Amino acid sequence: MRLTSLPLFAVLLAGCASTPGADSSAAIPVDLIVYGDHVLTMAEVGLIPDGAVAIDDGRIVAVDRATTINRKYRAARTIAGDNKVVLPGLVNGHTHAAMSLLRGIADDLALIDWLENYIFPAEVALVDADFVRVGTELACWEMIRGGTTAFVDMYYFPESVARAVEQCGLRAVIAPTVIDQRSPDASDGVQSLEVARQFAEQWQGRNPRITPCVGAHAIYSLPQQALERVRDVAAEYGTPVCIHLSESNYEVQFARDNYQSSSTELLEKIGLFDNHVIGAHVVWPSDTDIATLARQQAGVIHNPTSNMKIASGVAPIPAMLAAGVPVGLGTDGAASNNDLDMWEEIRLAAFLHKVSQMDPTVLPAMTVLEMATWRGADAIGLGGEIGRLKAGMAADLIQVDLDDLTLFPVYDIASHLAYVTDEHDVTTVIVEGRVLMQDREVLTIDESRLRREAAGFAGRIRDRLFPQ
């Protein structure tokens, strides 16, 4: 059900503020209650004024008015919600987390030039398991700080990614990159697919916060036979497939020249959509491609900042949404963005499509918030677990502070979240009931240690890429 934006005066009419603390000997014990002057559930009930979320054993037990929650439940721990909005954590549907260590090494370049002449050589020269561990932690700190609770990562040394995610407490779909060339953790496509297969075998069902995936880099970097092997490995282990899809005009022409079809038509022809596919970018689909993506319920991840920076083009997101394609948002990696701020993606997604279509009604505030929460969760295959605040769902949620004068006055919660809020307004981040950040302090990553380790890698990168 699509939510509509609710102005603040309607919220105020609903009743006076309630405060946490009511208790009863008959109340049900729970681990945590999180309060908010506004609880935006992104589910059927919409916006709850003076609300609360009761959490136990990592799951949401109830979402309701604070008075009702206080009457029914008593918590071992509470988090106050004065002048705060509680909403589902943001879903970053496409990134390359460890590339945070490569932020700013090569800017203002076309995609293929950027990849082949800068990024691929730098990765082969510099990236190892420890690089990935530190780079992923750096990205996780940034994502936690900005209210992202789940992300899809396509990179190398997946064991290092998984260990970093386990430690910091985020939720991740981890896709080892399969590419038919020498890469940091493989000599060719056959070996990189074996890395992905082993990771799926070792991590399937091992941690509920970690979903193994197979990351097919793109149709221009993997021949058809390799894509078919990706299909088979994903089917064997029941994993999704991530792929850069219809990202550039170069790829469109490559598909025509080599397959006499579009990228999407090729994937359908070989049965890749028999697995859940998460397509990143999808800037240049045809109308037929859009219909196929909708029919196959393939997830599409819109990356407005990266697409604009590399001048890949403007993806037809309104058309895909209208066709029923599950569409989420992503930042891409920090080497092509250059940050992991999902609030920026929310705002730019709305503005980009309004101006490109010369229609201010396109992608309204609530729609882009949906893309960052439940639509994004659906797109990456986790819609049954995250993206909405409702009983039975995983307890992945955030608090956003409305105290800053840049957010004053407040008339419409959805408008402020989409068009004003940035990462610095997030105060609390919770994943599976675990508090990862409170009062703007990240609790699960040692910032001083991380800064030292990242500085060490930065020195090595400078020495290798920018010698004096």
Separation of alpha carbons 28 and 107, rounded Å: 55
- Indicate the pTM of the whole model: 0.93
In a domain, 362, yes or no: yes
Q: Please check the confidence at residue 14 and state whether its pLDDT lies above 70.
A: no
Q: Please check the confidence at residue 266 and state whether its pLDDT lies above 50.
A: yes
122 shares a domain with 170? yes
Greater confidence, 12 or 463? 463
In a domain, 100, yes or no: yes
- In this predicted model, what pLDDT tens digit does every residue of 114-147 receive, in sequence order? 788 888 888 888 899 999 999 999 999 999 999 9
Q: Please check the confidence at residue 5 and state whether its pLDDT lies above 50.
A: no
Confidence of residue 12 (pLDDT cuts 50, 70, 90): very low
Confidence of residue 107 (pLDDT cuts 50, 70, 90): confident
Separation of alpha carbons 277 and 116, rounded Å: 25
Total domains in the chain come to: 2
372 shares a domain with 267? yes
The answer to whether residues 245 and 284 touch, using CB atoms and an 8 Å cutoff, is: no
233 shares a domain with 151? yes
Q: What is the DSSP string of 307-357?
A: HHHTT-----HHHHHHHT--EEE----TTSSS---HHHHHHHHHHHHHHHH
Greater confidence, 98 or 19? 98
**CATH for 219:** 3.20.20.140
DSSP state of 3: -
Write down the pLDDT at residue 26: 77
In a domain, 31, yes or no: yes
Across the range 214-229, mean pLDDT stands at 97
In a domain, 342, yes or no: yes
The answer to whether residues 457 and 464 touch, using CB atoms and an 8 Å cutoff, is: no
Across the range 179-194, mean pLDDT stands at 94
Q: Please check the confidence at residue 25 and state whether its pLDDT lies above 90.
A: no
Separation of alpha carbons 366 and 174, rounded Å: 28
Confidence of residue 247 (pLDDT cuts 50, 70, 90): very high
408 shares a domain with 370? no
For the chain, percent of residues with pLDDT exceeding 70: 95
409 shares a domain with 317? no
Confidence of residue 16 (pLDDT cuts 50, 70, 90): very low
Write down the pLDDT at residue 20: 47
Separation of alpha carbons 121 and 456, rounded Å: 20
Tokens 């960052």 belong to which residue? 372
58 shares a domain with 46? yes
Greater confidence, 6 or 120? 120
pLDDT averaged over every residue in the chain:
93
Distance (Å) of CA 352 to CA 307, 308, 418? 11, 9, 13
310 shares a domain with 172? yes
Write down the pLDDT at residue 123: 86
The answer to whether residues 91 and 372 touch, using CB atoms and an 8 Å cutoff, is: yes
In a domain, 384, yes or no: no
The CB density around residue 30, as the number of other CB atoms within 10 Å, is 22
Greater confidence, 178 or 5? 178
In a domain, 463, yes or no: no
46 shares a domain with 110? no
**The two structure tokens encoding residue 5:** 């934006």
**CATH for 431:** 2.30.40.10
Tell me the sheet residues that pair with 279. 243, 300
Write down the pLDDT at residue 24: 53
The answer to whether residues 341 and 331 touch, using CB atoms and an 8 Å cutoff, is: yes
220 shares a domain with 311? yes
Write down the pLDDT at residue 118: 86
260 shares a domain with 323? yes
As a whole number of Å, the end-to-end CA separation of the chain is: 58
Greater confidence, 462 or 306? 306
Which amino acid is present at 82?
D
- Cα-atom radius of gyration of the chain, to the nearest Å? 22
Q: Please check the confidence at residue 13 and state whether its pLDDT lies above 50.
A: no
Write down the pLDDT at residue 111: 80
In a domain, 465, yes or no: no
361 shares a domain with 405? no
Across the range 322-340, mean pLDDT stands at 95
148 shares a domain with 55? no
Confidence of residue 10 (pLDDT cuts 50, 70, 90): very low
Write down the pLDDT at residue 18: 39
In a domain, 460, yes or no: no
Q: Please check the confidence at residue 353 and state whether its pLDDT lies above 80.
A: yes
Write down the pLDDT at residue 19: 43
Which amino acid is present at 247?
E
Q: In which domain, by residue range, is 322 found?
A: 90-379
Asked if residue 409 has a cis previous peptide bond (ω within 30° of 0), the answer is yes
Separation of alpha carbons 92 and 341, rounded Å: 9
Confidence of residue 462 (pLDDT cuts 50, 70, 90): confident
Tokens 């609790």 belong to which residue? 443
